[in-house]
Structure 1
Amino acid sequence: MWSSKFLFVVLSCLVFHFPSDTSSLVQMPLCNHHDASALLSFKSLFTLTPPGPGWCAARTGVLCHPKTESWRNVTDCCMWEGVSCDTKSGHVIGLDLSCSCISGELHPNSTLFQLTHLQTLNLVLNDFYDSPMPSGFGHLLALTHLNLSLAWFTGVIPSKFCHLSKLVSLGLGTNNGLTIEQSTLEKLIVNATDLRELNFDYLDMSLIKPSSLSLLLNLSVSLVSLRLQNSSLRGKLDNAILCLPNLQYLHLSKNPDLEVELPKFNSSTPLRYLDLGPIPQCMGNMSQLNYLILRSNKFRGEIPSSLFNLHHLIHLDLSQNNFGGEIPSSLFNLHHLIHLDLSQNNFGGEIPSSLFNLHHLIHLDLSHNNFGGEIPNLFGKLRKLEVLDFSVNNLVGQLPPSLFGLTQLSYLSISENKLVGKIPDKTSGLSNLFDLDMSDNSLNGTIPPWCFSLSLLFSLKLSGNQLTGPIGEFSAFSLYYCDLSYNRLEGDIPKSMFLLQDLSELTLSSNNLSGLVDLNNFSNLQNLQYLDLSHNNFQSLDFSGDNVKSFPKSAAQLYHLDLSNNHFHGRIPEGFNRMADTVTFFYLSHNLLTSVGNLSLLWKNIGYLDLSFNMLEGDIPVLSSTVDFFSISNNKLTGDISSALCNASSIEILNLSHNNLAGKLPQCVGTFGKLLVLDLQRNHLCGIIPRSYLEIETLETMNLSGNQLEGPLPRPEYINASQLYNDSVKVTMKDSDMELERILTTFTIVDLANNRFEGAIPAIIGELKSLVGLNLSTNRITGFIPPNLGGLENLEWLDLSSNMLMGEIPTALTNLHFLSILNLSLNQLVGKIPTGKQFDTFQNDSYKENPGLCGLPLSKSCPKDEKQEKDSETFHHDEQFGFGWKPVAIGFAFGMVFGTLSGYIVFFVWKPQWSIYFVDGILNQRSRKKSHRTNANTRQHNEGR
């Protein structure tokens, strides 16, 4: 994979053919003194980056070579590396400083521009520090070959470039925001009539009109290579450019605003390399090939049948387009193809058997399409195949046996299909396999031994199948990546797995593995970075050995460790404290651990620590200052929230809920400048909420319910809810307590249920227009139901059950068009139940245990001559609210995920208005930011939960 990228970059940079230096073959005159002086002065203004990883290596994988080190005043400049001289005059006519470790700014008055006899100049792959493109290049009128690609120039290409009328090859591609103006381009094309090679890749040509590009047709005789990749071209391009009689290489990819209609090709078209898709995988003698690349553009029309008249075509890439239907049969006339990529389209039907007549294929990619049916068992005809990718299709049936006889195959991916059956036990090929991916199918049976014995295998992915039995013993040890998760594998981790010294990522989660996990064994995996053993049946942990002190050993140390959802029990071993200082993500949740000890004290770099859902007792562990996520919820912790928590000043998510913590809230939490979520619900905390908690600007969720706290509620702004935390609220619906999690943005809820509220429902609640759900059940609420609740036009569920409400049910509630859940049971309501609209859909359980109610759906009919007093109709908005209430939980759901704020507040007598305005202001602020919710979407979201 790396080598193909390297070849492509080298081709991109060195595609222009500079004349060979033949100066050493003839008797050379002494170098022109003026030219030598200019070169030495040019050299003195730059620093040389040492050979090694750096500017050049980062782009090509090749070490730069400081050619100018050989330039000395005591030697003839014609003998200097990279310098070519005229055989008669001694003038410097060629300068090749490509990838020469040069760093520094190229000044406009550089002595380089005094070399007026230069014919070839190559400065590709150096670092000129964002220098503006000097106009001095335009003074070198003798230039025929100029390559300034990948040299980190910036600014606007000077108009004097159009004076270079002798240019044959020009490369200005892949610089930093380099721009060309329309007038400069037009004059350059008109003047440089002998241009054969033009590289404007990644050049900003947004100011260029397609009509200006059409001037390239004037170069129909000379132009051989044209590179315009990712150049911000827009508009409709004349497709005659694709038919220039001598054009062999055309690259127009990554111009999403450019429209090109494919022309009709004929058998005389010189193209040998056709690429309409993503970056090609370079291979073999690609430097000898010619290209047509129209990747990621707006093509119109169908693939013309004339495309397949290119009988000499070697490389065909149509990927990342919208071509559909079946593969055209005329494709199989391209007998010379070695590279075929049809990926990321909408091709369908079965894979045709005639495809396997392309005997020269080395690379075959049909991934990300809609191919169905079985895979033909005809791979014996494709003996040269090195890359095969059929992933992300709808292929069915079993794996064809001939697939496993390909001796040259290095990459095989058939993931994300519907393949069934067993993986063949034996194989006569695959000895060169580097990457094997058969994940996300329905393969069954055991993993065959050959999967663990391929000497060159780098990546093994078999996850998401139905594989059973034990993991076999490894007899080859080249693996870097191993994913066997989401299967039905059983037994212990094989001992031979701990000999995979190159292994970096190991995922064995979601299986039925069992036995002892001894990290002493993992100490041999010196390059291990990612270890996931979660969701298995491991019983115990062992970190008692001395080897754990050095686990892992190398610089590329473990950063992700997931041991959650097993059956680990007892105390977390002290050996954890001697493990890796570089662990960032650590999961030990959903086990049976009873003691945490001083686990995190020595973990200097831990950022994500999840110990939730265990049986941990004692105090909260001391946290590192690097922790940004800490959850130890659903355990049996006791004691105060220690001031040691204050070390975690960078924390974003803090969840200590569902424990037995007591005491007051520490003041320091209010100083955590990054805190997004604070969840302390269901503990025994007491006292007043510190004022600093109300001033945490980043806070999205604060849940303090189920404690004995008091004080004012903080302001919540639910704009960008955290993706690391799922808020929840418990709601009573139809006599069932439901925990709502991952609530959609369409929900806005007030939940005051299961407390000891007293007094009447304040009528001002009817002004909370954003409400979707209102739950006041299981309190001591008296008085009447305010009629203006009928104005809550978005309300979908209303639960007022288990209170002491009296009077009639207001008929205004029949105006709640979205209401799908209603519970008024266990009150003292009287009179006839309203009818019409949504009320006709509710059953008896919405009204039970209200002896004074009558009418449908109850069996008790209403006396015709009985006239109920309309107490509820005389209810007025300024009725006073009795505020001797106990602390309550308030849930508000909104944001990208459901945001819950459950805080405790003491409402004082005569002050209902302030409280409701406060809540209403929050809800309306969020409501203004939401789009209008339709009835259908609301029902769909609500029913889905």
Structure 2
Amino acid sequence: MGLSSLALFIFIFMALFSLTHSSPPMCHGDDSSALLQFKQSFFTPVYDFDKCQFKLASWTLELNKSDCCSWDGVECDDNTGRVIGLDLSSSCLFGSINSSSSLFRLVHLQRLNLAYNSFFSSSIPPQVLSVGANAGLTGYLPNFTWSSPLQTLYLARTSFSGELPASMGNLSFLTWLYIRECNFSGSIPSSLGNLTKLTTLLLSYNSFVGNIPHSLGNLLQLSYLEMSCTQLTGQVPFRLVNLPQLSYLDLSYNLLSGEIKFENVTQLSIIGLNNNQLTGPVTFGPMNLTNLRVLDLAVNKIHGQISNSIFNLKNLQVLYLFKNYFNGTLEFDEFLKLKHLYELDISGNQLSLLIKETSANATLQKFQLLGFSSCNLSEVPNFIRSQHELKHLNLSNNKIHGQVPEWMWNTSTTSLGVLDLSNNLLAGFSQHPIIFPWTSLQFLDLRSNFLQGSLPVPPVSTLHFYISNNSLTGNIPELFCNLSSLEVLDLANNNLSGSLPRCFDNFGASLSVLDLRRNKFQGSIPKTWIRGSQLKIINFSQNKFQGQLPRLLAECTMLKVLDLSDNQFNDMFPFWLGHLPNLKVLMLRSNKFNGPMETPQTYFYKFPNIRILDISNNDFMGKLPLRLFENWKAKKFEDEHVLTYIHENSDFQTKSSYWFVSTAQAYTYSMVMTNKGNNVFYEKVQEVFTAIDFSSNGFVGEIPESIGNLKGAQLLNLSNNALTGHIPSSLGNLTELEALDLSQNKLSGEIPEQLIQLTFLEFLNVSRNILIGSIPQGRQFDTFENSSFDGNPRLCGRPLTRKCENSNEPPSQASISQESQDSRSLFEFGWKIVAIGYGFGFVVGVIIGRIVIARKHDWLMKTLRIRPLGGKRRRN
């Protein structure tokens, strides 16, 4: 065995036996015995004795040397007494180490140094070095100074880390290198191109960076290459993808760019280039690729028309081209030339797919997957009626109109697992009652159509059901009680009514998302409807629910969002939700919640992760409940993923013949919240968004200085209460604040100069208070308009026309009268009607597709039950 292989073995050995086990302290007899037996397997030549540090001389059981922890070169654990380290370097040890060495009985060994000795005839096998599938195993690869007979190196699914040493190129006998799913980083060394005997190279699921070395094109024996899910950049070397023996190529989930041309290969069976940044084209030369079965180019930036060379791949079975920039008009008959094709996905491009009526008769193959999303279709393709083995059908984002054809009820009834008809013009179903026939269906998406009639009932196998943004009416059918495996139920934005079925508790522990937003549901929430603890997002907003909240909500320990806004709930503030560790969003706005919000002194649970709390437009009273935020965990923006939205993944995978097909349709939470005096619809809400809205209640007293502890808050609205006293200068500590509304209170004194420090502040409203003195000048204050300060007759300075030279003199009767008239005019007019395209302008870009809801529109006033400016909402 070569020294480099021995060195590698030693490093692996050190990592493999790094775990310790509890045992009594002091040196153990089995450790002492193993060390003494190891000592007896070596000898030291007489002529070298004076040059050696013969540490093994102290290894004896005589006299006071019986404790092996006192022997030279031996290190023991202070608590257990087990041997954890050996340093026998420069000990002139002559002999061999083989697989039966007593060294391997030191099962707690963490550090081993045998450098500068003379080991020979070591017989540790070199056929294979395999320590894979040990997730707790750590280590790194040493330098390989000399060649080694090592043929197989298997480290997959361990915690090995560091860079691959350039000296790996010395392992010239290596044929199988399997280090996927580790923690390796750095660049892939070009010296790997020296491993000309290599047949299998698997480097996936690491953190490699940089380009793929061109030298890998020297690996003429390579048949299996996998470098997916890393961070590789640059173009794919031409010689690499055209290696003569290459049969499996997977470079997916990287940052690779440019174009690729396959020219000289005949053995390729599977090509995975998906989820990169390839711009194309990807072409195939005039060779006989009879073995190619799978071609996956999905999720790239390939533009232009689909290459005709693809239609020459006669034995192709799987073709994924979705989410690229392919354009033009394409005839479906072109794909029918591929007689063995049974999985085809061209979704998410800029294609217009033409399907002839004769296609249904011309095709003989039976498809299992069809993806025709965004293909400019106007009807469900007729040839699908003859397909009885479909597992996955995606016809979303087209212009399919009318009713779902009746023949679909007889198509793939036992095999279909995914059906996506969302974002079309569908009006309804021909079958009544609507009970879907597909017994294996798991994912059903009918969102954003024009569906009318009663709510259809999915099969009991369904895991994810989306049917929001339609025009459905009626109650939730009792048959929904049979959906015991349901994980996501999205019925939002319909005209559904009635009360919730009491059998909702049949959902058990599987349900994670329940969205009933913007319907006409009424009645109370059944007290026993929550049985499990998997619920993460509950959205009941914009309905007519009444009564008290079920206390069983406190058992939903995984809950992230609870949105009950715009209903008629009548209850005290739910302090009992304060112990939920994951709750980020609590929306109670526009209900009949009432009573004081002072937390009792014995109250220990204070919403540890709350980010958005909206209790506006209720009947709360008393002092501001700032104790709720004593555990406020506001983080710096740079510490968070700015583009992460509050969502719940509904991804699941169905097995293809070659790999798993992912269905990624994440549910994204949306909400309505007041900002800049307008009701704003947040289509998506970023995780970093932090907002507090206590407006339009009956809070009294002063705003305490402790409000300055709410660091990280971006929106703070305390308007339309009865707050008194001064504006606390500690508000200047809220450096992330972007909108501050203190209007319609009884605040007095001057506006603190410290507010000038709020450099992110885009909106300020302190109107209709009794503030005095000069308005601070500079920075953001130079951007605010008169309306920010109206209704404060004793304020002066820009942007008001009143100057501050005679600030000690009382204002004239005319100015007071004018201010009163302005205030009365504003009260009568209400909030301004704001156009849909109003620019919101948050610094962190909290939402995509912001929609500002005009407050004066009668229909919206009724739907959202918005309280008019300046007064409390009447109670029925």
Q: TM-score range by the shorter chain?
A: 0.5 to 0.7
Give the residue type in structure 1 aligned to 2:268. Answer: L
Q: Deviations over 1:547-596 (max 9, x none)?
A: x1xx4333x43232211111234x32556667645543222211234x22
Write the mapping of 1:858-877 to structure 2, written as runs, cut at 5 A. Answer: none
Please name the residue that 1:588 is paired with: 564
Closer/same/farther in 2, CA of residues 718 and 423 from structure 1, 3 Å limit? farther
Displacement of 1:625 in angstroms is 0.9
% identical aligned pairs: 24
Displacement of 1:162 in angstroms is 3.4
Contact 1:374 1:398 in 2 (8 A): no
Q: Whole-Å Cα distance in 2 between the matches of residues 879 and 113 of structure 1? A: 100
Give the residue type in structure 2 aligned to 1:585. Answer: V
What secondary structure sits across from 1:417 in the alignment? coil
Closer/same/farther in 2, CA of residues 139 and 528 from structure 1, 3 Å limit? same
Displacement of 1:450 in angstroms is 7.0
Please name the residue that 1:119 is paired with: 127
Does 2:246 match 1:270? no
Please name the residue that 1:533 is paired with: 516
Give the residue type in structure 1 aligned to 2:369. Answer: V
Displacement of 1:768 in angstroms is 8.5
Q: Deviations over 1:818-866 (max 9, x none)?
A: xxxxxxxxxxxxxxxxxxxxxxxxxxxxxxxxxxxxxxxxxxxxxxxxx
Q: What is the aligned counterpart of 1:396 among 369, 377, 386? A: 377
Does 2:538 match 1:568? no
Please name the residue that 1:385 is paired with: 367
Contact 2:395 2:422 in 1 (8 A): yes
What secondary structure sits across from 2:410 in the alignment? coil
Give the residue type in structure 2 aligned to 1:715. Answer: L
Give the residue type in structure 1 aligned to 2:247. Answer: Q
Q: Whole-Å Cα distance in 1 between the matches of residues 732 and 12 of structure 2? A: 68
Write the mapping of 1:44-83 to structure 2, written as runs, cut at 5 A. Answer: 45=17, 47=19
Closer/same/farther in 2, CA of residues 897 and 580 from structure 1, 3 Å limit? same
Give the residue type in structure 2 aligned to 1:367. Answer: S
Does 2:421 match 1:438? yes
Contact 1:107 1:131 in 2 (8 A): no
Closer/same/farther in 2, CA of residues 754 and 44 from structure 1, 3 Å limit? closer
Displacement of 1:515 in angstroms is 0.9
Contact 1:610 1:631 in 2 (8 A): yes
Q: Deviations over 1:36-64 (max 9, x none)?
A: x9999889825599xxxxxxxxxxxxxxx
Q: Whole-Å Cα distance in 1 between the matches of residues 11 and 710 of structure 2? A: 59
Contact 1:104 1:128 in 2 (8 A): no
Displacement of 1:657 in angstroms is 0.5
Write the mapping of 1:86-97 to structure 2, written as runs, cut at 5 A. Answer: none
Q: What is the aligned counterpart of 2:461 among 464, 469, 478? A: 478
Q: What is the aligned counterpart of 1:684 among 707, 719, 722? A: 722
Give the residue type in structure 1 aligned to 2:162. Answer: G
Give the residue type in structure 1 aligned to 2:563. Answer: Y
Q: What is the aligned counterpart of 1:332 among 307, 311, 324? A: 311
Closer/same/farther in 2, CA of residues 257 and 564 from structure 1, 3 Å limit? closer
Does 2:208 match 1:194? no
What secondary structure sits across from 2:173 in the alignment? coil
Q: Deviations over 1:272-302 (max 9, x none)?
A: 3333324xxxxxxxxxxxxxxxx54465xx4
Please name the residue that 2:443 is paired with: 459
Does 2:530 match 1:552? yes
Contact 1:130 1:176 in 2 (8 A): no
Does 2:740 match 1:702? yes
Q: TM-score, normalised by structure 1?
A: 0.60
Contact 1:372 1:396 in 2 (8 A): yes
Contact 2:247 2:269 in 1 (8 A): yes
Displacement of 1:493 in angstroms is 0.5
Q: TM-score, normalised by structure 2?
A: 0.65
Contact 1:359 1:383 in 2 (8 A): yes
Gapped runs of 5+ residues in structure 2? 1-5, 22-36, 38-97, 101-106, 635-689, 824-830, 832-838, 846-876
Q: Whole-Å Cα distance in 2 between the matches of residues 579 and 199 of structure 1? A: 45
Contact 2:584 2:611 in 1 (8 A): yes
Displacement of 1:511 in angstroms is 0.6
Closer/same/farther in 2, CA of residues 662 and 106 from structure 1, 3 Å limit? same
Q: What is the aligned counterpart of 1:423 among 383, 387, 404? A: 404
Closer/same/farther in 2, CA of residues 878 and 580 from structure 1, 3 Å limit? closer
Give the residue type in structure 2 aligned to 1:553. Answer: R
Q: What is the aligned counterpart of 1:660 among 686, 695, 698? A: 698
Does 2:176 match 1:169? yes
Q: Deviations over 1:682-734 (max 9, x none)?
A: 1111123445555455554432211111244352665778xxxxxxxxxxxxx
Does 2:755 match 1:715? yes
Gapped runs of 5+ residues in structure 1? 1-33, 50-72, 74-90, 94-101, 279-294, 722-747, 790-797, 806-876, 900-925, 931-945
What secondary structure sits across from 2:388 in the alignment? coil
Does 2:589 match 1:612? yes
Closer/same/farther in 2, CA of residues 583 and 374 from structure 1, 3 Å limit? same
Give the residue type in structure 1 aligned to 2:478. Answer: K
Does 2:356 match 1:318? no
Q: Whole-Å Cα distance in 1 between the matches of residues 158 and 111 of structure 2? A: 10
Contact 1:628 1:648 in 2 (8 A): no
Contact 1:577 1:603 in 2 (8 A): no
Q: Deviations over 1:387-412 (max 9, x none)?
A: 22222x14231112432442221122
Contact 2:391 2:418 in 1 (8 A): yes
- Rg larger in structure: 1
Write the mapping of 1:74-223 to structure 2, written as runs, cut at 5 A. Answer: 114-127=122-135, 129-135=137-143, 141-158=148-165, 160-179=167-186, 185-186=190-191, 189-190=193-194, 192-201=195-204, 213-220=213-220, 222-223=221-222
Give the residue type in structure 1 aligned to 2:401. Answer: V
Please name the residue that 1:341 is paired with: 320
Closer/same/farther in 2, CA of residues 879 and 47 from structure 1, 3 Å limit? closer
Q: Whole-Å Cα distance in 2 between the matches of residues 119 and 534 of structure 1? A: 63
Q: Deviations over 1:787-811 (max 9, x none)?
A: xx9xxxxxxxx9x7xx8x9xxxxxx
Bigger shift: residues 573-582 or 649-658: 573-582
Contact 1:498 1:525 in 2 (8 A): no
Bigger shift: residues 657-666 or 486-495: 657-666
Contact 2:768 2:791 in 1 (8 A): yes
What secondary structure sits across from 1:455 in the alignment? coil
Contact 2:188 2:208 in 1 (8 A): yes
What secondary structure sits across from 2:336 in the alignment? helix
Closer/same/farther in 2, CA of residues 666 and 376 from structure 1, 3 Å limit? farther
Give the residue type in structure 2 aligned to 1:385. Answer: F
Q: Whole-Å Cα distance in 2 between the matches of residues 432 and 249 of structure 1? A: 29
Q: Whole-Å Cα distance in 2 between the matches of residues 153 and 648 of structure 1? A: 38
What secondary structure sits across from 2:326 in the alignment? strand
Closer/same/farther in 2, CA of residues 689 and 436 from structure 1, 3 Å limit? same
What secondary structure sits across from 1:421 in the alignment? strand
Length, aligned pairs only: 662
Please name the residue that 2:853 is paired with: none
Closer/same/farther in 2, CA of residues 326 and 782 from structure 1, 3 Å limit? same
Write the mapping of 1:774-789 to structure 2, written as runs, cut at 5 A. Answer: 774-775=786-787
Bigger shift: residues 448-457 or 415-424: 448-457
